[in-house]
Structure 1
């Protein structure tokens, strides 16, 4: 296999992807790698390996390439070249794609009617002068206007089974890189990322390709926009939500150039990505207090939650609010339980010290010595009646300030005796409680208390009589 373009490129004809013709020989192409897959080994008459990648040389034109050679040479090339490298392909073979060929299902969709095959008689080398080609990395390979809103995936996940979907989302979080063993006893690494958009706070996407996993290290929550093509959608029994997976067809464009991406960038600047901020945002979309008067007991509420969790067909728009007449059986305002959260004003991430630790926060980029913060309520509450107990309700944000009659900052300055007096306003008292059940594409919903007031005995008697 050729090692460099110096000398070896003499006699080669430089072409662009748009000018390729069947069986063209002695050609040289220059482009940027926009996606690649790990090599595979095949045992035939001799041991061979193949490395597949996708090359682009203009906003309109890109082509799939397969390098076939002995395993050592193929793996060396794969290790040397990565997505984002500008390269020269020397003496590749031009072949007409067979559109009905099943193999097309496993490679990215491209604009060229041809594909390139490389052998020991071909070469791939670095190309000097990269500025023009690097700009192509931000051009999506498919129209971004055709992406699936994340809420539509949660609503219609079952109907999408067996189809490919394109997703435009902002990075919300990066999971750890895990090592797993496949059914074929192959050890591989995987990583889950979370993205969000205008319509939905989270969609989990699994990355399998080493190239994508390596690239994801540079993605920053809230600040990286991704356009991911040809994902598959599956139901996660563990997460009780629909999740997406990257495939052999997937091309990931970082911070794509498009109107839809610009709109998403404007949205995510101030969009909530921490759970407690998402809760606050979701609460504003629920019906007002006067519009929802349904009264249930604890058992009925739990049964309704379980029905929502188990229903795969209606994973979106499941959030609702109801009233309970229940005793506040746990409200630890003056003990060891957490009651307050300190958040960064800039990115709304919870802080443990004087500086924000979110690497994507503007305060980190600007190297601020201290981070401006704000304090908010986050109180765990238990509610009980004659049918059971809800053990993990949250009283937070503005609702907590209204119920407790003080701001989070004022509460922070109270003495233990004052906090104790505040607690006993409601503890072990029968109360009328409006509670929101918020599904955020996770296994279990968040139970957020919207309002608490001491119950009127006459109203309790009327309402409980029909329960």
Structure 2
């Protein structure tokens, strides 16, 4: 272990230059690739080994590092640290990066240079200086891309195959991680590999696959707590899975995953309110009458979810298309002004960026049972598409008679409605209701659950 010394002994990444002599750099590992091998063109029959990583030493500066060498050295070096470790690099070579090649295969960095670590000239050690670690570790939560520049999962689904092959940023919550589902395999040329699929969700999509192939990425995601961990994923590759007929995101050599990112409170408040508290329907089991959930909303200042077996008493599908399908700002979800093509939210976190919109179902429905009516429940996006059985594009091309037929499939029919109730001082009722899932109810299930509620059901006269 090298002597860590004082902070002033280190060269900041921002000051690195090929003319820097014997640089000493301290940084936190924010990304790392697996070791790979290639045939050595100079020594027939032997392989050369390499891997890369990215270090950060300030909010604005980070740099890519690569190392080449024999099997023993490269694998030993790679195994000595992981993402999240603070390291000190002694005497790396500072080289001008090939912008086209480096930015294509490595994370895009603000530096014009890259570092090279070799067995003969360089040394890497884990930092043990508490003061340095306290300065570096908070940088793990700062995204390497503009936090306002991301696609929601709904945006990805809406754009479909047009995004196939693109590299984009994603902001989402971890829905599930199942280490027991890691798949190990051996390629045709004898190399061993692994694959783990993580499920993400946000306020627009309840489940979206993130595929990890690298051991480093798999190790990182296995530490994440489902439903409590937010990820800002920089430069994830988007692909269309023809076998499953769905879009997927893949962690690649350019990707940097920022866990629980630290950014603008406005974005956090929106994201927490609309996403992190969104439970998946599988975890919802409490059944309510309409009067019971209204009473709970009055007595409870927290968000809660539940199920109600109610009739759909309002479902306006056969009116103007513009009242059924709307465009909203991708960053803050406020409605877009169609004439000016601008976001109607003056505090939108994307106000200084080009407008990006998400178009989809935007419905308000009423649900009624023998105890009362819950008015103006939001039925939006992919939840509405799943409920109605068609995409918003397909719906827009239906005739008026076809839309009316879909309406009467649900109107005045008993449905099983999964909902989320959010306190709201801006609403006349003091709450907002969002439909998480809606389907025609099974009569036997209705009878069983309504009987269980029994005398607790108080009719509204």
Deviation of 1:262 after TM superposition, in Å, equals: 4.6
**Equivalent residue, structure 2, for 1:83:** 83
Contact 2:173 2:275 in 1 (8 A): yes
Contact 1:155 1:316 in 2 (8 A): no
What number of residue pairs does the alignment pair up? 333
| CA distance, structure 1, for counterparts of residue 56 and residue 394 of structure 2 | 38
Q: TM-score, normalised by structure 1?
A: 0.61
Deviation of 1:263 after TM superposition, in Å, equals: 2.9
Equivalent residue for 1:288, pick from 304, 314, 321: 314
In the TM superposition, what whole-angstrom CA distance separates every residue of 1:268-299 from its partner, at most 9, and x where no partner exists? 34312234759989x99x99345469xxxxxx
Deviation of 1:267 after TM superposition, in Å, equals: 2.9
Deviation of 1:84 after TM superposition, in Å, equals: 0.7
In the TM superposition, what whole-angstrom CA distance separates every residue of 1:423-464 from its partner, at most 9, and x where no partner exists? xxxxxxxxxxxxxxxxxxxxxxxxxxxxxxxxxxxxxxxxxx
| CA distance, structure 1, for counterparts of residue 455 and residue 257 of structure 2 | 46
| CA distance, structure 1, for counterparts of residue 395 and residue 153 of structure 2 | 10
**Equivalent residue, structure 2, for 1:369:** none
Contact 1:32 1:86 in 2 (8 A): yes
**Equivalent residue, structure 1, for 2:220:** 215
Equivalent residue for 2:272, pick from 260, 265, 271: 265
Structure-to-structure mapping, 1:271-420, within 5 angstroms: 271-275=278-282, 288-289=314-315, 291=317, 321-323=406-408, 395=441, 404=447, 407=450, 409-410=452-453
**Change in 2 beyond 3 A, CA 1:155/1:79:** same
Contact 2:217 2:251 in 1 (8 A): no
Q: TM-score, normalised by structure 2?
A: 0.62
| CA distance, structure 2, for counterparts of residue 265 and residue 166 of structure 1 | 18
Structure-to-structure mapping, 1:160-239, within 5 angstroms: 160-175=163-178, 176-182=181-187, 184-239=189-244
**Change in 2 beyond 3 A, CA 1:87/1:250:** same
Contact 2:165 2:239 in 1 (8 A): no
In structure 2, the residue corresponding to 1:146 is in which secondary structure? coil
Larger radius of gyration: 1
**Equivalent residue, structure 2, for 1:98:** 98
Contact 1:68 1:119 in 2 (8 A): yes
| CA distance, structure 1, for counterparts of residue 258 and residue 407 of structure 2 | 43
**Change in 2 beyond 3 A, CA 1:322/1:164:** same
Over aligned residue pairs, what C-alpha RMSD do you find?
4.5
**Equivalent residue, structure 2, for 1:53:** 53
**Change in 2 beyond 3 A, CA 1:103/1:109:** closer
Equivalent residue for 1:15, pick from 11, 17, 33: 11
In structure 1, the residue corresponding to 2:314 is in which secondary structure? coil
What are structure 2's unaligned runs of at least 5 residues? 286-304, 320-384, 398-402, 411-415, 422-436, 457-461
| CA distance, structure 2, for counterparts of residue 236 and residue 149 of structure 1 | 18
Contact 1:231 1:244 in 2 (8 A): yes
